[in-house]
């Protein structure tokens, strides 16, 4: 009788373990993939080329639809619109995940003068190892790009692609035969993350915001840290709601102002959780959930 009971116990335990494994595999299959893709420039004239590129991790299939019936299955490439108008470009990754872009195509301006300035069109923010598309605006026969990581000329194409190996803030220099001094552009490269890490993008964002808030508490430059969070994550909205320790509420501006006044207590920002609402495509943060504590400091 004891052996039978032991056998039944092993069967029940095995069934429970099997259910847990199946549930975990199902959760992995349902996990949303973050599409990391860019189109540049987004405002062009008829006949000018846009550069499109996707850096989504572990992606196998791509479908770029340009809003006029044309499509491409390449991960990275260029495309020229032949008619003016506003086009919605849609990228579908692995037949499931989507990201949309708007491209404005203007009629070609034939009144350009020799005084047209050379410019750089590029993002201000990107991730480590992400393929970034850079676009040279203007007319020149020679283009020499230095992306600030190697200390050398990295490309001689007008519209190059480049991926930074290390995070940091880099100054991009573009030299042409039409310019006396290099054209400059600053880009911030944030550390990448791996899908098998215990953190995700929102966790990294929350940690970054926590460090900036703690910097305000510690008396470091207020405007630098406040504007960084406001511009980078809150879409310049100072009225984003901050919930403190689950019950107190402030708008973001008032909350940051309050962090400057500590008195005889040392404020510790322990955790910041980011809430983007119900939309997975909205890049603007809707709410910050802050956990903080005060430590008394004797004089």
End residue of a domain, out of 88, 111, 134: 111
pLDDT over 70, % of the chain: 81
- Of residues 19 and 287, more confidence is placed in 287
State the CATH number of the domain containing residue 123.
2.60.40.10
C-alpha distance across the termini of the chain, in Å: 72
Together in a domain, 206 and 249: yes
The span from the CA of 37 to the CA of 173, in Å, is: 24
* pLDDT, tens only, 120-165: 999 888 888 888 889 999 888 899 999 999 999 999 999 999 999 9
- Maximum separation of any 2 CA atoms in the chain, in Å: 98
Together in a domain, 226 and 292: yes
* pLDDT, tens only, 171-194: 999 999 888 899 999 999 988 755
Distances in Å between the Cα of 73 and the Cα atoms of 52, 58, 68, 98, 237 are: 11, 16, 15, 14, 37
What is the span of the domain harbouring residue 232? 201-296
The span from the CA of 2 to the CA of 237, in Å, is: 68
């Amino acid at each position: 009788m004891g052996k039978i009971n032991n056998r039944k116990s092993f069967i029940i335990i095995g069934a429970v373990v099997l259910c847990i494994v199946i549930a975990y595999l199902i959760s992995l299959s349902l996990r949303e993939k973050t599409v990391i893709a860019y189109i540049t420039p987004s405002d062009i004239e008829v006949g000018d080329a846009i550069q499109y590129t996707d850096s989504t991790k572990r992606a196998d299939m791509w479908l770029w639809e340009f809003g006029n019936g044309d499509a491409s299955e390449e991960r990275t490439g260029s495309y020229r619109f032949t008619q003016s108008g506003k086009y919605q470009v849609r990228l579908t990754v692995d037949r499931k995940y989507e990201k949309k872009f708007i491209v404005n195509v203007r009629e070609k301006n034939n009144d350009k003068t020799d005084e047209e300035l050379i410019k750089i069109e590029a993002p201000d923010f990107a991730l480590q190892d992400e393929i970034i598309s850079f676009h040279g605006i203007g007319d020149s026969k020679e283009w020499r790009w230095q992306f600030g990581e190697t200390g050398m000329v990295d490309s001689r194409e007008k519209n190059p692609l480049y991926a930074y190996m290390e995070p940091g803030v880099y100054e991009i220099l573009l030299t042409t035969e039409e310019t006396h001094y290099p054209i400059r552009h600053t880009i911030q490269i944030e550390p990448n993350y791996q899908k098998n890490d215990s953190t995700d993008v929102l966790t990294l964002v929350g940690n970054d915001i926590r460090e900036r808030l703690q910097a305000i508490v510690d008396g470091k430059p207020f405007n630098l840290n406040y504007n960084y969070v406001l511009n980078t994550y809150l879409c310049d909205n100072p009225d984003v709601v901050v919930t403190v320790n689950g019950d107190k509420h402030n708008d973001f501006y008032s909350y940051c102002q309050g962090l400057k006044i500590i008195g005889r207590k040392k404020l510790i920002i322990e955790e910041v959780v980011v809430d983007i609402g119900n939309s997975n495509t909205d890049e603007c943060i809707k709410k910050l959930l802050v956990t903080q504590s005060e430590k008394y400091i004797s004089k």
